[in-house]
Homo-oligomer: A and B are copies of this chain.
Amino acid sequence: MKSINSKPSETKNVDLVIQGGTAVTMVPGQAPVPNARILIKKDRIVQIGPSTEIPLPHGSALDIIDAQNGIIMPGLVNAHAHTAMALFRGFADDLPLRTWLFDKIFPAEADFLSPETVYWGALMGCIEMITSGTTCVADGYFFQDATIRAVDKCGIRAVVAQGVIDFPAPGIPDPKKNIRTARDFLEKWQHFSERITPGLFCHSPVTCSEKTLLRSQQLSKDYDKPLQIHLSETSAEVAEIIKRTGKRPTHYLDQLDLVDNQLIAAHGVYLDKSEIRCLHKKGAGIIHVPESNMKLSSGIAPLADILAMGVRTGLGTDGCASNNNLDLFGEMDTAAKLSKVSTGRPDATSATQVLEMATIGGAAALGLEKETGTLEKGKKADIIVVDTRAPHLCPLYNPVSVLVYAACGADVKDVVVDGTTLMKERKLCFLDPNEIMARVGEISEKIRR
């Protein structure tokens, strides 16, 4: 198979055409475009509009994706994941939180994570995401050189963030070296690829000291790279921070000057209005992670309030150990419904709002809104086609409703990232899923024992 990074020749004006379906561009205020055509040159969209207004270019070796009877839309952005945790999908469920974490997940991570296992786990999670329509992921974990190798190989767009925590962690047995490891990571990968942004992932304000948080923040500024953090995921965490600092977690981080437009705060279950206002004012991103918050019974984030305040809000799946899949279509459905039932208002959060979160909202929260998240001339060609010729997607009164409330990842037919077709007619173009599943299967046999 040819390499994912081999780019088309310079001689053609157009390399790839996607045509025939209804384009849901996610450009604010733009109505769906029936029978659309999108022209792609190298990694970018060069034209988009009705087929009647954009002629099919002449050319012998033109790649064409036929989207007839489908929806063409921006690829989804999974704005909070621990991709390699695909290794632990279904390893431990339905347990009290502390048992799950301290008796199952942490020991399994300590015993079985290595650059090799993280590579295969991340590759597995990446192909799950690609085959379910995700074209960009914000990942936070350990052994992240391995995750970058997996992301590079599979062709997905990613923010890959090195974990920072004040405990012995996979690959960092001595927590005193957590910042040095993070700095080395940023230094090593900062110019590696336009498609891959290295970043930092401070585990949480509870598990990172004030000093660690401040040093991470400095690194983030020095390298101009995003800083992810788990914020207010559980009520216990909030109580702990208030006890330690006298402030709610967001205000504590703000006091340390961590709340800015490079901060990507995941979960945000227990944010009060003053915290949401603070995150909004400073331009930070919030990532809503409803299914994981439900499965671990962490709580229900105030999504309607967050969106009403205008915060840059993305959607994430979290890791497979607490979800247990990476399907953002299901996550969108859950996000909308959970907001409705928790507020008592069926109009609390609309299908359009959650589709925005899963596309341009997530892109903005990651600082990538100029590159991805909508279908627009000049943007990177991160595009998926959803096949709507299926009983569960019929009739089609409203494409957005069908995408959010009826579709699932398996309805995604074609996936293009950075102008490269990664999946066509549901077949991966560069990777053999059976090989990856076999390797993950072998690793899981060891974990099971």
* Interface residues in chain A, defined as those with a beta carbon under 8 Å from any beta carbon in chain B: 86-87, 89-91, 93-97, 100, 124, 127-128, 131-132, 291, 293-300, 320, 323-327, 330, 333-334, 336-338, 340-341, 343-351, 389-392, 394-398, 401-402, 405-406, 408-411, 433-434, 436-437, 440-441, 443-444, 447-448
Question: Which residues of B have CB within 8 Å of A350?
Answer: 93-94
Q: Are B300 and A341 neighbours in the complex by a CB distance under 8 Å?
A: yes
Q: Are A397 and B296 neighbours in the complex by a CB distance under 8 Å?
A: no
Closest to A292 in B: B337
Q: Are A296 and B340 neighbours in the complex by a CB distance under 8 Å?
A: yes
Give 22 CB contacts A-B under 8 Å.
A89-B394, A89-B406, A90-B395, A90-B406, A93-B351, A93-B398, A96-B346, A124-B394, A131-B391, A132-B392, A291-B337, A297-B346, A324-B402, A330-B330, A391-B437, A392-B409, A394-B437, A395-B440, A395-B443, A396-B441, A408-B409, A410-B410
Q: Are B334 and A401 neighbours in the complex by a CB distance under 8 Å?
A: no
Q: Are B406 and A324 neighbours in the complex by a CB distance under 8 Å?
A: yes
* C-alpha spacing A96/B345, complex, angstroms: 7
Question: Which residues of B have CB within 8 Å of A389?
Answer: 434, 437
How many monomers of this protein are in the complex? Answer: 2
* C-alpha spacing A350/B323, complex, angstroms: 14
Q: Are A401 and B93 neighbours in the complex by a CB distance under 8 Å?
A: yes
Question: Which residues of B have CB within 8 Å of A320?
Answer: 406
* C-alpha spacing A434/B390, complex, angstroms: 8
* C-alpha spacing A398/B298, complex, angstroms: 24
Closest to A408 in B: B408
* C-alpha spacing A221/B294, complex, angstroms: 42
- Shortest CB distance A404–B (Å): 8
Q: Are A330 and B408 neighbours in the complex by a CB distance under 8 Å?
A: yes
Q: Are A444 and B397 neighbours in the complex by a CB distance under 8 Å?
A: yes
